Amino acid sequence: MNALWSPDTLVIAAGGRATQPFGANGVSIDSRTLRQGDLFIALQGDHRDGHEFVADALARGAAGAMVSRIPPALPPDAPLLLVADTLAALHRLGEFARARSRARVIAITGSVGKTTTKEMLRRVLEAVAPSAVHTARASYNNRWGVPLTLSELPPDAAYAVMEIGTNHPGEIAPLAALARPHVAAVIAAEKTHIGQFGSLEAIADEKACILPALEPEGTAILPRDTPFLPRLMARLPSGRRLVTFGAGPLAESRLIEAEAVEGGTDVLASVLGRIVRFRLAAAGRHLAIDSLAALAAAVALGLDPEAAGTALSGFTALPGRGARRPLQLAGGEALLLDESYNASAASVRAALAVLALERGRRIAVLGDMLELGEMAAEEHLSLAPDVTEAADLVFACGPMMGLLYEALPPRLQGAAAADAASLAPIVASALAPGDAVLVKGSLGSQMRVIVDALPGSGSHAPPRA
């Protein structure tokens, strides 16, 4: 088997100098999770410098390390690739890998639903091209995640599905230009990170920056039901195809019905004029809408819509993004709805709608939604009607959810705490057999701590980078 990066190609692509020749079978920026034969790239982070972990990476089996300086205490024969700037060199690796690949590239952005849609599309594509679909190891969608994903793209892959994210203006355009997608999808424009953007219009404009990077004769997948559709379409270059998705009558990939069933959702849709039926092993109308974006992208790639729908049957929600797990309690089971990975007002409402469908006592454990700036209090308080309708008992984590908690009727108030560590044992002790408990909050609210503290839950959080 040929290495992903031969010694010569690695030096040429990165624009560096090797202390000795070495190739690599993969690329990693985390010494804790790298695989045998990976190239370890020592990135300079906000809090840690990857050069501190070069020795550890080599000891764990890295083929070599890309560095901008030689760390102390390394043996003189350590396999190193010296570059001026490791992040810039990672981008060059991604650019080189994209140029040599024959893969059809699909790039997905949006305020919510990126990872779920990516995984839905991966499932569909793997049904027709087993072992030839490349995706990121996790939600790698930022200035290092996108080039990292591209740098691991095998030259012979048939498809590459990737996310492109942002939390500041100006981030999507250069990453989209690096990916040069054949299909670009915008899932939604919501108030996530609005503290950095100032308005929903600015968020929509940033999402639209993925569209100019479309390859000639590429296809844009856009949400029909958003008021920002004209704003998105204005950034679509001429010669590119447009397919919309949603529940409205004008959507080409249109939801006809999403019926909640035991442990899932029966979906009936019209996809470019073809009727498609399938069952998701996950609850929620929002997931049905995400599936329409995935189906539209699959059809844009030439796949049959009915076959794509069949491949989606059985799709389950991801850990931290709606995964359902039983909790083993004394005397019986409770149900965990794990939404601990992230949160916005739109996604909290969607999760609450799923909770409202459950039987037994419905418990909502909600953590602060972050990066909302001056709109933080307003956004949290706006959830009160949804919480009141969906939950029988509420636990709140953080100062902003504390405001919401105080606005709720006393009958719903379980407890509030400043942080997840303080709230976790209170929630764990309150659970009883038959309960359904939703745990949701922004990543920085650390709601995973609460998930891990629940009886019999184990740890199923997404991998860290």
Specify the pLDDT at position 463.
37
Give CATH superfamily name and number for 7-85: MurE/MurF, N-terminal domain (3.40.1390.10)
425 has pLDDT over 50: yes
215 has pLDDT over 90: yes
Specify the pLDDT at position 277.
97
Specify the pLDDT at position 458.
55
Three-state DSSP class for 63? Answer: coil
Specify the pLDDT at position 465.
33
Question: Can you tell me the distance from the alpha carbon of 368 to that of 355, in angstroms, rounded to the nearest whole number?
Answer: 18
The CA-atom distances, in angstroms, between 392 and each of 359, 361, 367, 457 are 11, 6, 17, 22
Per residue in 319-365, pLDDT (tens digit) is: 888 899 999 999 999 999 999 988 999 999 999 999 999 999 999 99
Question: Can you tell me the distance from the alpha carbon of 302 to that of 76, in angstroms, rounded to the nearest whole number?
Answer: 53
**pTM of this structure:** 0.87
**CATH for the stretch 101-312:** 3.40.1190.10
Segment 25-49 shows an average pLDDT of 94
Provide the pairing of β-strand 436-440 with 332-339: parallel
User: Could you tell me if 116 and 315 are in contact, meaning their C-beta atoms sit under 8 angstroms apart?
Assistant: no
Residue type, 442: S
- 355 Rama class: left (phi>0) / alpha (psi -120 to 50) / beta: alpha
Cβ neighbours around 45 below 10 Å, total: 11
The gap between the terminal CA atoms of the chain, to the nearest Å, is 28
Specify the pLDDT at position 45.
84
Per residue in 428-457, pLDDT (tens digit) is: 999 999 999 999 999 999 999 999 999 876
Segment 257-274 shows an average pLDDT of 93
- Band (459; pLDDT cuts 50, 70, 90): very low
Specify the pLDDT at position 100.
97
Per residue in 379-422, pLDDT (tens digit) is: 999 999 999 999 999 999 999 999 999 999 999 999 999 999 99
Residue keyed to tokens 């009936």: 268
Per residue in 383-392, pLDDT (tens digit) is: 999 999 999 9
Specify the pLDDT at position 196.
78
110 has pLDDT over 50: yes
Average per-residue pLDDT in the chain?
A: 94
Question: Can you tell me the distance from the alpha carbon of 181 to that of 95, in angstroms, rounded to the nearest whole number?
Answer: 12
191 has pLDDT over 80: no
Segment 236-255 shows an average pLDDT of 97
User: Could you tell me if 199 and 233 are in contact, meaning their C-beta atoms sit under 8 angstroms apart?
Assistant: no
The CA-atom distances, in angstroms, between 22 and each of 27, 87, 202, 214, 308 are 13, 20, 45, 35, 41
Residue keyed to tokens 């609005």: 194
Q: Which fold has domain 323-453?
A: Protein-Tyrosine Phosphatase; Chain A (3.90.190)
- Band (308; pLDDT cuts 50, 70, 90): very high
- Domains of the chain, by residue range, sit at 7-85, 101-312, 323-453
